Amino acid sequence: MIAVEYRMRKVGTRVLCFRLYAKVTGLFVFCLGWTAHWNPPRCGVPDLPALPDGQSGRNRQKRFVLSGGRWEKTDLTYKIIRFPWQLGNTKVRQAIAEALTVWSDVTPLTFTEVQGGRADIVIDFTRYWHGDNLPFDGPGGILAHAFFPKTHREGDVHFDYDETWTIGNNLGTDLLQVAAHEFGHVLGLQHTGVSKSLMSPFYIFRYPLSLSEDDKQGIQYLYGKPKPDPTPTPAQKIHDSFICPQFVQPEACDADFDAVSTIRGELFFFKSRYVWRLRSGKLQAGYPALASRHWQGIPSSVDAAFEDSLGNIWFFQGSQYWIYDGERRISGPASITELGLSASPVQAALMWGTEKNKIYFFKGGSYWRFNPGMRQVDNVYPRRMADWRGIPQEIDAAFQDEFGFAYFLRGRHYWKFDPVQVKVLEGYPRLIGHDFFGCLPSSNSFR
Ligand SMILES: [Zn+2]
Ligand SMILES: [Zn+2]
């Protein structure tokens, strides 16, 4: 076995060292790890191990590297043997599913969790010596390792139980990032020399979790591109298989929401730092997730959100607003008084009408119509909520669906508003948890 140490300067004085172990026989195992160091001389030039095809680190091409093996099928199963103590099993399942999705999104691969019996990919959280001659080392150092296809332990992914595992932040070791990297190995990718790639041996905490072009080319070299629509994409298939009531719904079932918006044709429910994502009425795997994973720099909670006709997404919190183009912030924070609103928080924003050119802001029993092109409210003097027949005075959130119906949320209830009759439909309010998240009535008792 050979061991190689990488050093890299991170922001400030904190430095992460990466140790990469490769066993250069027929079996290749890569371990990704880091330990904190102080006062490094500089970024070290990586001393890459000799690779099986005779390439050396020095003249290795800056592109993806294959392990030499691949799976001969594309529908793979996985199971999780043990879980880390810091995180609920539900959260771990979601993170694992999401980490696999980055690979299934760009290939014909599908991943289905099984709870018992045989599985192609076997995930375990384990400590020190654990039966594969590659012992873990307690906190820090080595974080995880995985075995390439066509080796005698193909499909095994081991995480060091003694790490401080977290999801979606850099307070510890982010399971999502490490898992996605290890799954790259399990599918047949080695480390790449291309920086900022998921398959770079350097751990970089960054969101949203995504593949670099190099990662994508590597995995598509092995498995090809996704099968064309109209059948559900592999990503959708796996998403569907993960709509498992017992581990996603309790939180959504108990929540009132800060904001809801249709964004790129999908429905996003916001609650404090979290977001739930529904596509065609189905909650997607990996959600709720931190909203900052989609929109870096988004405030820790939002009061209101909407997507304008240009596809820009507006977020409001307190007396400020932000505008994003996709996941990129293009303006903000700026004061909502620039829009003609008073400085008090907006409770809800509704994009209304087929032209997507009418935005309504709601607060304290009043509403304003807003012209996003002019970035001004039509009139600084608000109108009364009574114009929205059947809607309560105070609301938490509002959005429009693809058919032109408006929805107003308050607490755990919502009202559906008919654009033709210009009033609330019969039979409302109804429970948000039941209708959007499939919550059982028992978990939805009135409070
Ligand atoms: Zn690795
Ligand atoms: Zn192991």
pLDDT digits over 20-72, tens only? 333 333 333 333 443 333 222 111 112 234 344 444 444 445 678 777 789 99
Q: Distance from the CA of 137 to the center of ligand 2, in angstroms?
A: 11
Instruction: Give the helix ranges, DSSP H, for 153-212.
Output: 175-186
pLDDT at residue number 441:
66
Q: How far apart are alpha carbons 308 and 302 in whole angstroms?
A: 17
Count other C-beta atoms under 10 Å from residue 384's C-beta: 10
Check residue 223 and give its pLDDT: 94
Say which CATH number the domain at 288 has. 2.110.10.10
Ligand closest to Cα of 182 equals 1
Q: Which of 11, 9, 13 is nearest to 43 (CA)?
A: 9
**Is residue 134 domain-shared with residue 272, that is, in the same domain?**
no
**Ligand having the closest approach to the CA of 197:** 1
Give 366 Cα–ligand 2 centroid separation in angstroms: 60
Of 223, 254, 275, which residue sits at a domain end? 223
Report CA(404)–ligand 1 centroid distance (Å).
48
CA of 163 from ligand 1 middle (Å) equals 16
| Residue 240 is assigned to a ligand binding site | no
Q: Are strands 110-113 and 141-147 parallel, antiparallel or unpaired?
A: unpaired
Amino acid at position 332, single letter:
G
Q: How many domains does the chain have?
A: 2
Same domain for 279 and 135, yes or no, is: no
User: Beta strands of 228-327 (E only): which ranges?
Assistant: 259-263, 266-271, 274-279, 282-283, 289-290, 304-307, 312-317, 320-325
- Considering the domain architecture, whether residues 252 and 185 belong to the same structural domain is answered as no
Cα 195 to ligand 1 centroid, rounded to whole Å: 13
Residues 257, 213, single domain; the answer is: no
Is 10 in the same domain as 55?
A: yes
| Residue 229 annotated as binding site | no
Q: Ligand 2 centre and the CA of 420: distance in Å?
A: 62
Report H helices in 156-314: 175-186, 213-223, 234-241, 245-254
State residue 330's pLDDT score.
87
> Residue 132 sits in a domain of what CATH number?
3.40.390.10
Spatial distance between the Cα atoms of 175 and 68, rounded to a whole number of angstroms: 26
Helical packing angle, 89-104 and 234-241, nearest 10°: 170
* CA-based nearest residue to 105, from 226, 210, 208, 212: 226
329 and 216 share one domain: no
Is 305 annotated in some ligand binding site?
yes
Domain shared by 18 and 110, yes or no: yes
For residue 373, being part of any structural domain is answered with: yes
Residue 238 lies in a domain: no
396 labeled part of a ligand binding site: yes
Contacts of 100 (CB under 8 A, 6+ apart): 78, 111, 180, 183, 238
For residue 232, tell me if it sits in a domain. no
- Long-range pairs of 84-91 with CB within 8 A, sequence gap ≥ 24: 84/125, 84/159, 84/161, 84/163, 84/165, 84/175, 85/161, 86/164, 86/165, 86/166, 86/172, 87/165, 87/166, 87/167, 87/175, 89/247, 90/246, 90/247, 90/248, 91/167
Q: Which residue has the tokens 């938490």?
A: 396
CA of 135 to the centre of ligand 2 (A): 7
The answer to whether the annotation marks 294 as part of a ligand binding site is no
Cβ 228 vs Cβ 99: under 8 Å: no
What mean pLDDT is reported for the chain? Answer: 78
Residues recognised as catalytic: 182
Q: According to the model, what pLDDT value does residue 288 have? A: 84
Q: What pLDDT is attached to residue 442?
A: 53
Token pair 């005698």 in the structure block, residue: 152
Between 28-37, 127-136, 157-166, 414-423, the lowest mean confidence (pLDDT) is in 28-37
Q: 426 C-alpha to center of ligand 1: Å?
A: 57
Predicted TM-score (pTM) of the model is 0.47
pLDDT above 70 for 248 = no
Give me 117's structure tokens: 């019996």
What's the pLDDT score for residue 391? 93
Regarding whether 215 and 305 lie in a shared domain, the answer is no
Residues 209 and 298 in one domain: no
Classify burial at 37, counting beta carbons within 10 Å of its beta carbon; exposed 0-12, middle 13-18, buried 19 or more: middle
At 417-428, the pLDDT tens digits run 998 898 999 999
Does 258 show up as a binding residue in the annotation?
A: yes
CA distance readout (Å), 248 to 12, 89, 124, 212: 38, 11, 22, 29
Domain that holds residue 113: 2-223
b/e per residue 393-431 (b: at least 16 CB within 10 A): eebbbbbbeeeeebbbbbbbbbbbbeeeeeebeeeebeb
145 appears as a binding residue in the annotation: yes
Based on the fold, state whether residues 253 and 164 are members of the same structural domain.
no
Q: List the single range of 99-113, 203-217, 341-355, 401-415 with lowest mean pLDDT.
A: 203-217
Q: Which ligand has the nearest atom to the CA of 27? A: 2
H or E stretch at 407: strand 406-410
Instruction: Select from 131, 135, 155, 159 the least CA-distant residue to 145.
Output: 159
Tell me the per-residue pLDDT of 330-369, one tens digit each, with 9 for 90 and over.
Answer: 888 888 988 988 888 899 999 988 777 789 999 988 999 9
Task: Determine if residue 132 is labeled as part of a ligand binding site.
Answer: yes
Instruction: Starting from the CA of residue 130, give the closest ligand.
Output: 2
